[in-house]
Amino acid sequence: MLMNKFPKDFVWGTATSSYQIEGASDLDGKGPSIWDAFCSIPGKINNNETGDIACDHYHKFKEDIQLMKEMGVKAYRFSIAWSRIMPTGKGAVNEKGIQFYSELIDELLKADIVPWVTLYHWDLPLALQMENDGWLNKDITDYFKEYADICFDRFGDRVKNWITLNEPWVVSILGYGQGVFAPGRVSNSEPYLAGHHLILSHAKAVKLYREKYTHQKGEIGISNNCDWREPLTDSKEDKDAAERALEFFIAWFADPIYKGDYPKVMKERLKERLPSFSKEEKELITGTSDFFGLNHYTTMFAANSDGIKKEVAVNGNGGISEDQDVDLSVDKDWKVTLMDWAVVPWGCKKLLKWIDKRYNKPNIYITENGCAYPDKLIDGKIDDQERLDFYQGYLIACQEAIQDGVNLKGYFAWSFMDNFEWALGYEQRFGLHYVDFKTLERIPKKSAHWFKKAIKNDSAEVSL
């Protein structure tokens, strides 16, 4: 049994998002979100399921926090539903929504669990989409700033860890490019405009926090998602393709924050489809993250697209496919999850080192990492050995990255419990706790018991 050591101040946590677990979609003054609307369209969601009830966390949050405490979790990353705070996304504040999150935060602190709050995890107030074209309208940057101001003001006395946006790539590409996520638009130009406004929204919220709420002594950042791209061959063409794929994926959003502008390859290839930042906007954006939030799940091979498929190419490019000239594939011998995502721990290590080098050794938090498997309840227990193997492999990769000098400061497992997995509905089970969606009972999985040992009482040793 190998004993890998993590720093004693390493942050161990689990993560969720509002629409995926809360339910109470129209209770106590909450306004509708784009996901409430999207789920009502027949055929958009697996089995036409919705997040109307989800895990009913809105009513069961005290029970859920007790489960986290029993697991020994030291940090909990959750998101606030914008439309629960501001039903139309602007103007009036819903005090019952404020009360819910305030009580949730207080309950976490009582359990000695540090709250990490994400302001936006994809559930845009529907009114902003209907009346203002959502993320396509630059006015949203000010609406988001106003919303952030309310959250900082009401919760910042207790919340010291903020994440502005979760996976703006998903919002842009899946929501405005491929149309498979809310708001369901299909375009080869709108994703870049939406992404542009997401970056500016993030920057305005951070500027506000640093200027108006410096007395709260917190940290604020953004969480971007990225999968590793390994060159299919040692050729220069495939190495360039792998780098290009990473730039279209994570550098799209990270470069403006850490370097002041979009990657050169994106500007060259997209031309007028990629909006430009003014000099003042570049100054506003640069340096607006106290840490590098990373959501990471899988790895793929990347090859230069020359009209000949080197392997069976699959979907998943980090941008509009035709803009990159990259073919993606996987090794047929790699194990895959229920999502058909390859389990490749060494890809996680390589991505961490790539981020470390490109962005000059930032503090990194893995704000999501996990896997979906078809968990089955047998005699009241879940023996999810595949998930346990996944976590062991990826945590070894994380520890090796730390040994190589990467400033990895924390790890949040996705997710705390099985939940509504967006367009895939409830069949994709990522949680450390099994949820019976008929009774809404929560049952610890084998991996939850292992996690408890791994993160017990600030121990520096994790049995892997």
Please name the residues in contact with 223: beta carbons below 8 A apart, sequence gap of 6 or more. 118, 163, 165, 166, 167, 293, 294, 295, 367, 368
Strands 75-79 and 11-15: parallel
Element (H, E) at 104: helix 95-110
Question: The dihedral of CA 436, 440, 442, 447: what is its sign?
Answer: positive
Count of residues making up the chain: 464
Global confidence as pTM: 0.96
Mean pLDDT of 133-149: 98
> Where are the alpha helices (H) located in 118-229, listed in sequence order?
126-132, 140-155, 168-176, 190-212
The radius of gyration computed from the CA coordinates of the chain, to the nearest angstrom, equals 21
Q: 33: closest CA among 89, 77, 78?
A: 89
Residue 327 located in a structural domain: no
145-194 tens-digit pLDDT: 999 999 999 999 999 999 999 999 999 999 999 999 999 999 999 999 99
Cα-based distances in Å from 51 to 130, 174, 307, 404, 460: 20, 18, 42, 42, 38
In a domain, 312, yes or no: no
CB 36 within 8 A of CB 2: no
- Is the pLDDT reported for residue 144 higher than 70? yes
- The answer to the question of residue 315 being in a domain is no
Q: Give pLDDT tens digits for 247-261.
A: 999 999 999 999 999
Determine the angle formed by the axes of helices 446-454 and 57-71, rounding to 10 degrees. 50
pLDDT at 103 over 60: yes
**Per-residue pLDDT band at 312 (split at 50, 70, 90):** very low
Residue type at position 37: A
Alpha-helical segments (H) within 286-430: 345-358, 385-403
- Best CA proximity match to 18, nearest among 59, 44, 57: 57
* pLDDT tens readout for residues 58-101: 999 999 999 999 999 999 999 999 999 999 999 999 999 999 99
* Residue 324 is assigned to a structural domain of this protein: no
Whether the Cβ atoms of residue 176 and residue 194 lie closer than 8 Å to each other: yes
User: Which band of pLDDT confidence, cut at 50, 70 and 90, is reported for residue 307?
Assistant: low
The residue among 308 and 119 whose pLDDT is bigger is: 119
Residue 407 lies in a domain: yes
Express each pLDDT in 397-418 by its tens digit. Answer: 999 999 999 999 999 999 999 9
End-to-end CA distance of the chain: 7
Evaluate if residue 314 carries a pLDDT over 70.
Answer: no
Q: Does residue 46 or residue 1 have the better pLDDT? A: 46
User: Per-residue pLDDT tens for 323-349?
Assistant: 999 999 999 999 999 999 999 999 999
- pLDDT > 90: what percent of the chain? 91
CATH classification at residue 222: 3.20.20.80
The number of distinct structural domains making up the chain is 1
Q: Tens digits of per-residue pLDDT, 269-294? A: 999 999 999 999 999 999 999 999 99
Instruction: Write out the residue range of the structural domain in which residue 364 sits.
Output: 3-301+333-463
Res 109: pLDDT: 98
Is 260 part of a structural domain of the chain? yes
Mean pLDDT (the chain, rounded): 94
Give the catalytic positions in this structure: 167, 368
Given a cut of 70, whether residue 457 has pLDDT beyond it is no
Let me know if residue 311 belongs to a domain: no
* pLDDT, tens only, 191-239: 999 999 999 999 999 999 999 999 999 999 999 999 999 999 999 999 9
Report yes or no on 360 lying in a domain.
yes
Check pLDDT > 70 for residue 4. Answer: no
Cis preceding-peptide flag for 189 (omega within 30 of 0): no
Q: Which has more pLDDT, 461 or 124?
A: 124
Q: Write down the pLDDT at residue 453.
A: 86
pLDDT tens by residue, 426-453: 999 999 999 999 999 999 999 999 998 8
